[in-house]
A and B are shown apart, each in its own frame.
Chain A
Amino acid sequence: MPVFKTPFNGYAVRFSPFYENRILVATAQNFGILGNGRLHILDLNPSGGISEVRSFDTADGVYDCAWSESHDSLAVAAVADGSLKLWDAALPPSANPIRSLKEHAREVHAVDWNPVRRDSFISASWDDSLKLWTLDRPTSIRTFREHAYCVYSAAWSPRHADVFASASGDCTARVWDVRDPSSSLVIPAHDHEILSCDWNKYDDCFLATSSVDKTVRVWDVRASRAPVATLAGHGYAVRRIKFSPHHENLLLSCSYDMTVCVWDYRAEDALLARYDHHTEFAVGVDMSVLVEGLLASTGWDELVYVWQHGTDPRAMP
């Protein structure tokens, strides 16, 4: 399976919803502590390699990235200086970035594009707030300020156009509706900071959260008192989770124990596969919507892997 070496430490990877062989990689220099950042657009070559199509430099590290659901060449990056930058790969570098949206007071840690409405995206920041943006406005439409600590992740619901979830360092996950002034649901999901959250793509009531306490918990938002499932198996904090777009119960996670795990949260023995190809913190994962079973991961070892579920990521195709 091909590997791509990024110059900086990887932070996030995203498959394009338009091209099945295109991925977006967010990286930051010096582990994201201090330094520049770079956004890569990579293509999977049919011959087996990964090549870079475009890359964009930023003054500060890029913590997360997302493809636009409306434009095939548009991408947004969450930058550590508190701004969101939009790039259009179809335009020449002199015209990029096309937008710089700076409103957050602290680092923007996550960004997610609305897959239903396709015109708006949400950003989650360490200044305890989330902001809703659209492409045509230079300022944010709404600010959601309820968390008591850094918001680490935000995820749009795949079914409901205005519903999204956020995960925060105040140990709660919240479900919001854009039309409501305050959050619709507060789940005290873990006893430690929650690093990531994602919705089940088939059952719109199921939300998964992952935390510093090394577990992934799946919640039913209709009955959020107790989790539906608790997936333990990682050795350190679970950094990012993703529900599979192809299988209802499948869940992908990556952790600071340098492994990427695949889970079936409805099974007795939930852990299906474990990939330990990284040699540093595994920080970003994604599952392709267009190709079933295609996984991508990146980590602080500056490598990006793309492989099929069930195969060895380090093996050459």
Chain B
Amino acid sequence: MATEGGGDENPQTKGPELSQPASGIARSEPTDGSQQRSPFITSEPLREDQVQNAVKFLSHPKVRGSPVIYRRSFLERKGLTKEEIDEAFLRVPDPSPNATTAETVSTRQANQVSPSTSLQPQASVQTAPPVASQVGAVSLTPMSQKPRFNWSHALIAIGVLSASGAGSAVIFKRVVLPRLKAWIRRVAMEDKEERATKSLAEETAEAAKAAASAAAIVATASQELLNSKNEDRKYFEAFMGMIDVQVKEMKSMSEAIHKLEKAREQEKLIDEYVQYATSNGTSNNSWKPSQANHTLLNQVRVNGTSTTSYGAEGQSLAPAPAPAPASVEPTTASHPKSYMEIMAMVQRGEKPPNIKEINDTPPNPNQPPSKPLIAPRTKENGQSQDISSEPWWRKKSVKITELEPEGEEPLRQLTTNDRPASQRTWVPPQPPSVAIPESAAAIRHPKPSPPIPDLSSGDEKMSKSSMNSNVVSQQSEIEEVEEKDDGV
């Protein structure tokens, strides 16, 4: 920007090199015709002493290092006029060539830049103002420097600023963003984990529930199966009972028919004999029919016993020959009751007729038993008395030839497996102590573990306890699963 004074006064000025003399001329001239040029130029004459003081001040090395603006403001505060200040600056050997024009330029620029320089120490992100401020600062301090330095300085400043900006951006990207991303990722992961754990727990709970329900179904099914099996068995037993009843009844019926036939035969025979007896005389009346009856009755009885059927006892003579005058054998009471009939009677509450009242209480409750005639046999006593005349029960094979070989062979085979003949008859071993009634009756002291039952019982107990523990552990497992179900 072109200075007003310089531009207006000397349009011929080319560069800042000529600006000094031009500005000097410009200053000198306004003393004469200052009113023509600008109102800013003062019309007072230069005070030499002030100028010299200013020169001395400006010559001070410390002042030299300070910015021009400060020197100018100091001098102005001291009361120097603009011309005096310029004069002082002129006299002072100024290293920067563009001191005069640069002054004016710089003053105006400084005035304009000062607010911007105040902003300089603020945020370094803004590149333009720092560039301008740095440009301004760089241009103020070295007054005699050429304008080119300003551009290079500006470039360097731009470069540094951009580098710093870039560096800050990079740092920001490296440090801040990862932290942010990590935080976001962490939050996201937490969500996912929660969902995952939740799904796992839910699955196990469902599986446990399914298993429990399946087990319950199996249990009910097996229970039903057991019930149906029991019912089937009951039906079968009832059925068998009914069949038995029917068989019994059929047998009794057939036997009754048999007897009726026999009775009829007897009657016929008796009639015949009676007729015969009556025809032959009465002397044989008494015993002949009775004898006939006797033989007939014997026949009947024998027949009856040989064909005794399921329900009837051999004594059943219910259809006894009624016309028999005097039955030799006392006919027993009617006895043909079968098992089912008696059961029915009992259930009805009737008492079967043949029960007698018997008193079977001991007449003397303290009756001592009689002395034994024979001592209990020992193992040494083998087959003793009467070997010579073997009673029938010692004979191993009696008459029946068919069964003989069959009966003998298995015995022979077995006897070879037997113990030696001296111990063939088994007699219980003698008790360890004499049988004193008191000791016999007293409670025995606890024994040390008996070998045989204990082993097996131990095994049984162990297996049972292990089974129980298995059952218990299974139950506890189910309970745990159920608890988990409840928890989840």
Q: Which of B369, B400, B411 contacts A135 (CB 8 A)?
A: B369
List, in ascending order, chain A residues with CB within 8 A of B396's CB.
293, 308-311
Nearest CB in chain A to that of B351: its residue: A34
Q: Which of A116, A306, A310 contacts B404 (CB 8 A)?
A: A310
Contact residues of A between 247 and 296, Cβ < 8 Å to B: 247-250, 264, 272-273, 279-280, 288-294
Supposing A118-B431, A185-B460 touch, asked if A33 and B450 sit within 8 A by C-beta, the answer is no
- Stretch from B94-102, B151-159, B439-447 that touches the partner: B439-447
A99 vs B362: C-alpha distance in the bound complex, in angstroms?
6
A contact residues, total (Cβ < 8 Å): 104
| Closest chain B CB from A134 CB (angstroms) | 5
Supposing A138-B365, A162-B444, A185-B457 touch, asked if A246 and B424 sit within 8 A by C-beta, the answer is yes
| Residue with the greatest number of chain A CB neighbours at <10 A, chosen from B368, B394, B459 | B394
List, in ascending order, chain B residues with CB within 8 A of A48's CB.
392
Nearest CB in chain A to that of B339: its residue: A31
Contact residues of B between 399 and 426, Cβ < 8 Å to A: 399-400, 403-404, 406-408, 410-411, 414-415, 417-419, 424-426
- Stretch from B45-53, B118-126, B370-378, B476-484 that touches the partner: B370-378
| Closest chain A CB from B245 CB (angstroms) | 14
Contact in complex: A88, B355 (CB < 8 Å): no
Nearest CB in chain A to that of B305: its residue: A5
Contact in complex: B393, A116 (CB < 8 Å): no
Q: Which of B359, B397, B424, B441 contacts A310 (CB 8 A)?
A: B397
A215 vs B318: C-alpha distance in the bound complex, in angstroms?
39
Supposing A136-B441, A293-B396 touch, asked if A119 and B435 sit within 8 A by C-beta, the answer is yes
- Stretch from B137-145, B275-283, B306-314, B321-329 that touches the partner: B306-314
Nearest CB in chain B to that of A192: its residue: B233
Contact in complex: B393, A308 (CB < 8 Å): yes
| Closest chain A CB from B451 CB (angstroms) | 9
A21 vs B342: C-alpha distance in the bound complex, in angstroms?
35
Contact in complex: B456, A98 (CB < 8 Å): no
List, in ascending order, chain B residues with CB within 8 A of A185's CB.
453, 456-457, 460
Contact in complex: A33, B360 (CB < 8 Å): no
Contact residues of B between 306 and 358, Cβ < 8 Å to A: 308-310, 313-314, 337, 339, 342-343, 346, 351-352, 354-358
Contact in complex: B392, A46 (CB < 8 Å): yes
What's the dominant secondary structure at chain A's contact region?
A: loop
A306 vs B411: C-alpha distance in the bound complex, in angstroms?
18
| Closest chain A CB from B269 CB (angstroms) | 27
Supposing A35-B355, A116-B431 touch, asked if A247 and B414 sit within 8 A by C-beta, the answer is yes
B455 touches A (CB below 8 Å):
yes
Q: Which of A58, A119, A201, A291 contacts B394 (CB 8 A)?
A: A291
Supposing A48-B392, A245-B425 touch, asked if A34 and B456 sit within 8 A by C-beta, the answer is no
B361 touches A (CB below 8 Å):
yes
A249 vs B416: C-alpha distance in the bound complex, in angstroms?
12
B398 touches A (CB below 8 Å):
yes
Contact in complex: A100, B362 (CB < 8 Å): yes
Contact in complex: A46, B411 (CB < 8 Å): no
B429 touches A (CB below 8 Å):
yes
A163 vs B343: C-alpha distance in the bound complex, in angstroms?
38
- Given A1-B398, A310-B404, A317-B398; 7 other pairs, CB 8 A cutoff: A95-B364, A118-B435, A185-B460, A202-B426, A247-B418, A290-B383, A292-B424
Report which A residues bind B (CB closer than 8 A): 1, 5, 17-21, 29-31, 33-36, 44, 46, 48, 56-59, 68-74, 79, 85-86, 88, 90-91, 94-100, 115-120, 134-138, 141-142, 158-163, 175, 177-179, 184-186, 201-202, 204-205, 221-224, 245-250, 264, 272-273, 279-280, 288-294, 300-302, 306, 308-312, 315, 317
- 5 shortest interchain CB distances as A-B pairs: A310-B407, A184-B453, A115-B428, A245-B426, A98-B367
